[in-house]
Amino acid sequence: MRSRTRRLASFVLAGAKEAGAGVDLIDLADLQIVPCTACESCSLDGTCVFADDFSAAYDRMLDADGLVLASPVYVDNVSGQMKVFIDRLADAIHYQNFAGKYGCSLATTQESGGDAVVDYLNHGPGGNRPGRIGSTRSRAAARPCHQRSAAIP
């Protein structure tokens, strides 16, 4: 699938690999994850009622020493797939199950919203980490880049 966000995330992982890290890319577009229905099963007994791809992805995140969260800006927010995934992580976020991991977040955008999406990803699933990578405009070649941006053709 053609995705600027996936490309940007791949660049970040390539850098981490070059520095000696083992890396693993989870692309939500490859997974079937249904929206949370607020049944509260996860907070009551620690298990989710849905037998979809969520648990395997969550386990891979728990196994990791660090997390890089990435989303395109879709109508001023994260993508629908990312929001559904984050909602399913609500219990893990509430109980700070990712505390102590290294990490950062990134976003791609046509024009605006990148900073807000990065802040959102850092605040919730990122456990309020300061590791901002920044945002990038997808047509950056024709326009001046944001100060923190990296251009993706």
Ligand X SMILES: Cc1cc2nc3c(=O)[nH]c(=O)nc-3n(C[C@H](O)[C@H](O)[C@H](O)COP(=O)(O)O)c2cc1C
Which segment (43-51, 82-90, 111-119, 124-132) binds ligand X by CB under 6 A?
111-119
Residue from 4, 88, 129, 146 binding ligand X (CB under 6 A): 4
Residue from 48, 74, 90, 115 binding ligand X (CB under 6 A): 74
Minimum distance from CB of 102 to ligand X (Å)?
23
Which segment (15-23, 42-50, 53-61, 72-80) binds ligand X by CB under 6 A?
72-80
Spatial strand order of the sheet with 102-109 comes to: 66-72, 102-109, 132-137
Tell me: does residue 40 bind ligand X (CB under 6 A): no
61/73 with CB nearer ligand X? 73
Binding site for ligand X (CB under 6 A): 3-5, 72-76, 108-113, 138
